[in-house]
Amino acid sequence: MTVPPVESSDRVIESRVVPLGGVRGLSVHRTLPQRGLPTVGPWCFVDQFGPTFERMNVLPHPHTGLQTVTWPLAGEIRHRDSRGSDVVLRPGELNLMTSGDGVSHSEVTVAKGPTLMHGIQLWVALPDDRRNGPSNFEHHAELPKVARDGWAATVMMGTFDGVSSPATTYSPMVGVELKVRAGRLTVPLNPEFEHGVLAIDGHVIVDDFDVAHRQMYYLAPGRDQASIDVRNDTTLLLIGGAPFEEDLVMWWNFIGRTHEDIAHARADWEAESERFGFVDGHDGEVIPAPPLPNVRLKPRRRTL
Ligand code: MN
* Distance (Å) from CA 81 to ligand 1 centroid: 10
Q: Is 267 left (phi over 0), alpha (psi -120 to 50) or beta?
A: alpha
* Distance (Å) from CA 105 to ligand 1 centroid: 6
Average pLDDT over the chain, rounded to an integer: 93
* pLDDT digit string, tens, across residues 113-160: 999 999 999 999 999 999 999 999 999 999 999 999 999 999 999 999
Q: How confident is the model at residue 24 (pLDDT cuts 50, 70, 90)?
A: low
* Distance (Å) from CA 135 to ligand 1 centroid: 13
* Distance (Å) from CA 266 to ligand 1 centroid: 15
Pairwise pLDDT comparison (12 vs 164), residue with the higher score: 164
* Distance (Å) from CA 51 to ligand 1 centroid: 19
> Is 48 strand, coil or helix?
strand
* Distance (Å) from CA 214 to ligand 1 centroid: 21
DSSP state of 210: E
* Distance (Å) from CA 295 to ligand 1 centroid: 25
The whole-number average pLDDT for the span 158-182 is 97
Tell me how far apart the alpha carbons of residues 80 and 276 are, in angstroms, rounded to a whole number: 13
In this predicted structure, the answer to whether residue 203 has a pLDDT above a threshold of 80 is yes
* Distance (Å) from CA 62 to ligand 1 centroid: 7
* Distance (Å) from CA 146 to ligand 1 centroid: 29
Architecture of domain 12-241: Sandwich (2.60)
Q: What is the DSSP string of 125-150?
A: EPPTTTTTS--EEEEES---EEEETT
* Distance (Å) from CA 220 to ligand 1 centroid: 28
Residue 136, exposed/middle/buried by CB under 10 A (0-12, 13-18, 19+)? middle
CB contact at 8 A, 165 and 156: yes
Q: In this structure, is the dihedral angle defined by the CA atoms of residues 130, 156, 79 and 262, taken in order, positive or negative?
A: negative
The whole-number average pLDDT for the span 47-62 is 92
Tell me how far apart the alpha carbons of residues 180 and 203 are, in angstroms, rounded to a whole number: 12
Tell me how far apart the alpha carbons of residues 135 and 104 are, in angstroms, rounded to a whole number: 10
* Distance (Å) from CA 253 to ligand 1 centroid: 7
* Distance (Å) from CA 115 to ligand 1 centroid: 21
CA 223 to each of CA 196, 232, 275: distance values in angstroms, whole numbers, following the listed order: 12, 25, 42
pLDDT at 4: 42
* pLDDT digit string, tens, across residues 210-252: 999 999 999 999 999 999 999 999 999 999 999 999 999 999 9
pTM of the predicted structure, to 2 decimals: 0.94
